[in-house]
Amino acid sequence: MQSKQDQLEKLNQKMLACVKCSLRKNCIQVVPGAGAAKARIMFIGEAPGKKEDETGVPFVGAAGKFLDEMLEIIKLKRKDIYIANICKCRPPENRDPLPIEVATCWPWLLAQIKIIQPKLIITLGKHSMERFLPGFKISQVHGKAMRREIEDMGKQVFYTLYHPAAALYNGSMRKTLIKDFKQIPRIIAKIENEK
Ligand code: URA
């Protein structure tokens, strides 16, 4: 049995060669994800932006710096978690990913989740939330942990947060995001105590 790290590396090699949708034609590189293969917490954002496209690493721009600040508040580092996106390639001009692009990229994310088997998936922003919790409004479900059965995935606990890029320059959303973020240690402890 291969280690989770080896399995992820193999998957990443395949992902890097993906040309299944037209996003790949307009971006510099595929951004598979980063962090610990054994992470208990997996953060899932929307899609790479300019900086991520240039570096091949998720959340390295302004939103990523804000994410790092919030991780520090709860005493976590990037090496303790895994970060990926719904779409692995940057959409032109950072537009929202199209449903067909999300659907085409889904098998990659599903494979990542199956390898990592996180205790908690934290969705960042509306697009990420909608992939797992369709029909919900982010304004209603942010800051709430939910156990859901997802097709091909089984039961999984989700926690929805506003996207750091959306909250960065919006005072009240920023406060809400930080407040919700501070709940993460309590949520993960609860999941682990339930076992
Ligand atoms: N926003 C995202 O959703 N993902 C990134 O990787 C960067 C910014």
pLDDT digits (tens, 9 = 90+) for 36-83: 999 999 999 999 999 999 999 999 999 999 999 999 999 999 999 999
Half-sphere exposure of 75 (CA within 13 A, CB side): 2
Does 4 have pLDDT greater than 90? yes
Rounded average pLDDT over 13-30: 97
For ligand 1, the distance from its centroid to the CA atom of residue 27, given in whole angstroms, is 14
Dist. CA 159–CA 184, nearest whole Å:
8
Residue with tokens 């930080």: 178
Does 195 have pLDDT greater than 70? no
For ligand 1, the distance from its centroid to the CA atom of residue 86, given in whole angstroms, is 9
Ligand 1 pocket: which residues have CB below 6 Å?
45-49, 52, 58-59, 61, 63, 85, 165
For atom 7 of ligand 1, which residue has the closest CA? 59
Rounded average pLDDT over 92-102: 96
Per-domain boundaries in the chain: 32-194
Rounded average pLDDT over 11-22: 97
For ligand 1, the distance from its centroid to the CA atom of residue 194, given in whole angstroms, is 32
Given this structure, which CATH class describes domain 32-194?
A: alpha beta
In terms of Cβ atoms closer than 10 Å to its own Cβ (0-12, 13-18, 19+), residue 38 is middle
Give phi and psi for 162, each to the nearest 5: -65, 155
